[in-house]
Amino acid sequence: MRITPLDIQQKQFPMKFRGFDVEEVYAFLEVIREEMEELLRENAALKENVQRAENHIKEYRDMETTLRETLMTAQQMVEDYKTNARKEAELLIKEAELRADEQIREAQEKVIKIHEDIVDLKGIRRHFKEELKRLIENHMRMLEHDSVRDGGGREEETA
């Protein structure tokens, strides 16, 4: 059973012959009551301080949890960003390689086309030379034939 300051104040002791001095007992009980009230006030204040400290600790723990989660989220975001950047870089490299391969292929096709054009032009030039040579030979034969038909050629006309 808990004793309160009121219990101490209201405590009555029976009177006996040759007993304690009643005023001294009541004075002592009053001192005990006051002391107990002070202790109870102190105890209540300490409990309140403990409760406040526990609330602060809970707040700090909540803040710590939030900070940890935020840090973990930030770290995950950084990792995701790195992964995405790496993938994007790889994709850009592959696209650049494909474009380079395509440009090389197109250049090779142009080289082949130019080579074919050169071969065609050489054939045309050779054919043109042959035709020109044949034309000149035909004209030479015609001139020779005209000269034979005219009776000896131009030597007679100049003489």
- In the predicted structure, residue 67 carries a pLDDT above the cut 90: yes
Mean pLDDT to the nearest integer, 38-64:
96
- Return the pLDDT at 159: 44
Q: Return the domain boundaries, the chain.
A: 5-150
Question: Structure pTM?
Answer: 0.45
Q: What tens digit of pLDDT does each residue of 104-147 get?
A: 999 999 999 999 999 999 999 999 999 999 999 999 999 888 88
Q: Which pair of structure tokens corresponds to residue 140? A: 């030479």
From residue 146, alpha-carbon distances to 131, 134, 143 in Å are: 22, 18, 5
**Helical H segments across the chain, by residue range:** 5-10, 22-149, 155-158
